[in-house]
Structure 1
Amino acid sequence: MRGWPISLTTRLALLFALLTATLLIVVVLVQGSAVEGHLRELDDQELSGKVTLIKNLLHRAEPYRTLRQRLDDAFIGHDALAVVLRDAEGTVVYAIRPAFFGERPLAEDALPDTPTLWDKGGKQYLGLETTVEALDFWSQPTRLRALVGLDVSHHRLFLEQVRERLWIDIYFAVIVAALFALFAAHRGLAPLRRVTATARNLSAEGLGERLAERGAPSEVRALVVAFNGMLERLESSFRRLSDFSADIAHELRTPVSNLMTQTEVALSHTRSPDEYREVLASNLEEYERIARMVSDMLFLAQAENGVLPRSLEAVNLADEARALIDFYEALAEEKEVRIVLAGEASVTGDRLMIRRALSNLLSNALRHSRSESLVEISITGEAGLATLAVKNYGDTIPSDQLSQIFERFHRASPERHRHGEGAGLGLAITRSIVATHGGRIEVTSDAGVTTFTLYLPLAAAEPSANA
């Protein structure tokens, strides 16, 4: 069974408490070892001093009773000291507190000649065994074995008390550190809680809320910026989706209403076959209009999601423009408009998609050109970009409409008619095609002259020179 999830605040608090405990334990161990070593050094020095004192006292020619008395006087007040002197046969010639050593050192097991620790009766002792020379009354040297021991239990007790107090201090220090870390993490993660609260309150109708970047920690500021950017993109997407839904409903309502009206009229009374054919032909036009609209919408959706299938080939813009001029020749003659072409450049892309973009611009220019005017197509290639401009002479597009002219179903003026790709999707499709090919499109309109300009990367083999 999975355990309960632990919050990030709790994890940070536990981690900080663990680090604090680890550091304190390391400090205690290091300092405890240093103190223990220092106390051992003091005990060694004291033991060495006692051995030196014994040697000095024995290195005098005095009667035994006087020597014993001097030893007793020297060790008055040294309750933690034990001394046993033995001759070569092992006979004890002097002893003070021999119980410190136990039976084995006093019998056959000699102590090392270096300071050695041992425990006895719940206490700890430090001692050694060494050879000393004693002068008798006639100044004759006699070798003796000296057992010298110190009761160092007070040092061990001191260390145990210190360690116990330090462990208690570590316990409370870890608790305080955990509480402090909990408070700090809680305050530090406040921006995350605000992100959570904002995300919890998000809805399609309330995407305008933003998080304050000022005051956010540097580690969280990037998240706040990214979250605000996400909200901005969502708001923009929902707004476009809402506008698109409203526009498509409006656009479909007219042909559907026409179909219903014509069908109701046709069914209102008996008609001749020719009249029925006329109604069906009219309905077919509306169906074709709906089909084109659906197809264009599907194309735009694929373009926005980057799933448009396209091939890469060298496309000569002048050749494509000439083919389209031939195609629109009849329409141009009907409107008494002449199309002129200048320049040449090649790009890499999908030939059909690029032709569709040029066709949209050219048909748009023809529809909105004045009679007996020109539609000028100029192509250049320089600085790694192919530029294709389509200029027509007609009504000026209001400046406040220029930034919206590439939006779906947008009309620069209520008077603009919709036919074919002029139903408000042609320029949006053109912009998507150009963007898919890594280019951009711009429009200017002033004093009756409107110019749409495409910028596309030149083909690799295209020289950077004006055509």
Structure 2
Amino acid sequence: MRTPSLTVRLSLLFALSTTALLVGLGWTLERAVAAHFRALDREDLSGKLALVQRLLGTTETRSALKKRLEDIVIGHPDMVLWVRTAEGELIFERRAGLLPSNTFEPGEAAPPSRAAGDPPRWLQWRRGPYGFRGVLVELPLGPRGGESAWVAMGIDIGHHQRFMASLRHVLGLSVALTAVAAAGLGWGAVRMGLRPLRRVTSHVATLDASRLDARLPEAGVPVEIKVLVDDFNNMLARLEESFRRLSDFSADVAHELRTPLSNLTLQTQVALGAVREPEQYREILYSSLEEYERLARMINDMLFLAQADHGLLRPGTTVVDLADEARALFEYFEAWAEERGVGLELAGEAQTCGDPSMLRRALSNLLTNAIRHTEAGRSVRIELGHERDAVCVRVENPGPDIPPEQLSRLFDRFYRADPARTRHSEGGGLGLAIVRSIAQAHGGTARASSQGGLTRFELRLGRADRETSAGT
């Protein structure tokens, strides 16, 4: 089933709302006119009833009373009048056959369910095509009192009823025509109101992966749609950045893989180019093994970063003594550092909660990077400390200052601040990116600074005592 368009739904809603309002207005008008006619009829009947009451109370004889009642009804052809005594004597009647059938039953002295002294009973009835409104009341009879008479009086209200029928017809026709007009006008108004949304939709239809730098225009956009446009533009900006990073990452991966694969291909071609001694084949295989190990490390690092990007890293809550981890790494890198003439220094104590292997990997990457870029005769220093509710780990090494435009990219994947080392260093360009991912997985941050001949990498992690108290 096809879903109605927003234009159709809003147009129908507008038409239904207008129709409901007009129906309510018409009903109120019809009730008001009917009440007005009812008040006019009662006022007319009350005036005539007062005249009949005066005649009943002042006339001596029945014949004189009948004559005076005839004078009243002359000139009022639409009037119905019936007067009889409480004992059942008929005094006067005019068009009495048009009275309601239950006004008097044959042989009854008084109307059913009526007692002397009751207030007037207002009636409305129909006889054939005629409609009447009347009153039934008991009035004193004769100047001396002691007697009473029942008076039934009515007037023809057919002209009022015809007017009301005509009014209802006009109101119904007006409501129907207005509903149709409201639907048409609503459709046009909605079409005009949704024009900015159609422009936005047509602009969105032109976007694809090759035009993620385009943005939806905000000029002339209503406030209600501007929020949507802003959110969509922000989403495009995020997509553009994600695609850019993915494209750069793919290019970097291809570039990084090309070197070891080219080396492996070249070594294999050299080995197959001539018959060689077993020792030469062994050297070629060792060289190939190094390239394979480099590829394996790179793939493992990329897998680790992919898990971090998808939030799959789940650090534990083990209390980790960072000083012990640093001393263990010093022992591991001691031979390499001595070979390069680089000293290792540790200052401070600190503990945090997390995954020991991941934190050890982050420290190892920072320490490897620092040793690699420190000149002989200088020292790499690790400082541990606390600042407010965080643990600070600083790894410092002396060396040339890194330009600010490069500092912001040090933690990007496959980025190296020294292009000369790009393809000849032992690292794959993912070490610092892994450090940042590990810090973020532990709810911390990683940043770098370089000035005054000193480059510093700083990790901020949660304190062990704060984590423990939060867990309890």
Letter in 1 for 2:322: L
Normalised TM-score (structure 1): 0.89
Provide the rounded CA distance (Å) in 1 between the counterparts of 2:426 and 2:318.
Answer: 25
Counterpart pick for 1:19 among 2, 17, 20 = 17
Provide the rounded CA distance (Å) in 1 between the counterparts of 2:434 and 2:145.
Answer: 125
String of CA shifts for 1:94-126, please: whole Å, max 9, x gaps.
333334326665762848651111111222112
Q: Give, in angstroms, the shift of residue 329 of structure 1.
A: 0.8
CA gap of 1:379–1:50, structure 2 versus 1, over 3 A, is same
Counterpart pick for 2:7 among 9, 15, 19 = 9
Provide the rounded CA distance (Å) in 2 between the counterparts of 1:84 and 1:421.
Answer: 125
Q: Give, in angstroms, the shift of residue 198 of structure 1.
A: 4.1
Letter in 2 for 1:34: A
String of CA shifts for 1:319-377, please: whole Å, max 9, x gaps.
11111111111111111111111111111111111111111111111111111112121
Match of 2:232 in 1: 227
Kindly indicate whether residue 120 of structure 2 is the aligned counterpart of residue 122 of structure 1.
no
Q: Mean Cα displacement is larger for which, 211-220 or 442-451?
A: 211-220
Identity percentage of aligned residues = 45
Letter in 1 for 2:449: T
Contact 1:360 1:421 in 2 (8 A): no
Kindly indicate whether residue 307 of structure 2 is the aligned counterpart of residue 291 of structure 1.
no
String of CA shifts for 1:157-210, please: whole Å, max 9, x gaps.
222222222222222332333334434443444454445334433321111222
Provide the rounded CA distance (Å) in 1 between the counterparts of 2:283 and 2:259.
Answer: 19
Match of 1:210 in 2: 215
Provide the rounded CA distance (Å) in 2 between the counterparts of 1:52 and 1:432.
Answer: 102
Provide the rounded CA distance (Å) in 2 between the counterparts of 1:107 and 1:124.
Answer: 21
Provide the rounded CA distance (Å) in 2 between the counterparts of 1:241 and 1:417.
Answer: 20
Q: Mean Cα displacement is larger for which, 27-36 or 319-328?
A: 27-36
Count residues with an aligned counterpart.
Answer: 459
String of CA shifts for 1:242-287, please: whole Å, max 9, x gaps.
1111111111111111111111121122223222222221111111
Contact 1:194 1:211 in 2 (8 A): no
Compute the RMSD of aligned alpha carbons: 2.7
Structure 2: stretches of 5+ with no match in the other structure = 115-119
Kindly indicate whether residue 383 of structure 2 is the aligned counterpart of residue 385 of structure 1.
no
CA gap of 1:462–1:308, structure 2 versus 1, over 3 A, is closer
1:285-364 matched pairs, under 5 angstroms: 285-364=290-369
Does the residue aligned with 2:58 lie in a helix, a strand or coil?
Answer: coil
Counterpart pick for 1:81 among 79, 82, 87 = 79
Provide the rounded CA distance (Å) in 1 between the counterparts of 2:30 and 2:437.
Answer: 75
String of CA shifts for 1:37-96, please: whole Å, max 9, x gaps.
332233223222222211112322356555444333333332321112234664543333
Normalised TM-score (structure 2): 0.89
Provide the rounded CA distance (Å) in 2 between the counterparts of 1:169 and 1:354.
Answer: 80
Does the residue aligned with 1:422 lie in a helix, a strand or coil?
Answer: coil
Letter in 2 for 1:16: F
Does the residue aligned with 2:363 lie in a helix, a strand or coil?
Answer: helix
Kindly indicate whether residue 431 of structure 2 is the aligned counterpart of residue 438 of structure 1.
no
Letter in 2 for 1:9: T
Q: Give, in angstroms, the shift of residue 441 of structure 1.
A: 1.4
Provide the rounded CA distance (Å) in 1 between the counterparts of 2:398 and 2:215.
Answer: 46
Counterpart pick for 1:255 among 242, 253, 260 = 260
Match of 2:55 in 1: 57
Kindly indicate whether residue 36 of structure 2 is the aligned counterpart of residue 38 of structure 1.
yes
Q: Mean Cα displacement is larger for which, 108-117 or 284-293?
A: 108-117
Letter in 2 for 1:82: V
Match of 1:152 in 2: 157
CA gap of 1:247–1:74, structure 2 versus 1, over 3 A, is same
Contact 1:289 1:420 in 2 (8 A): no
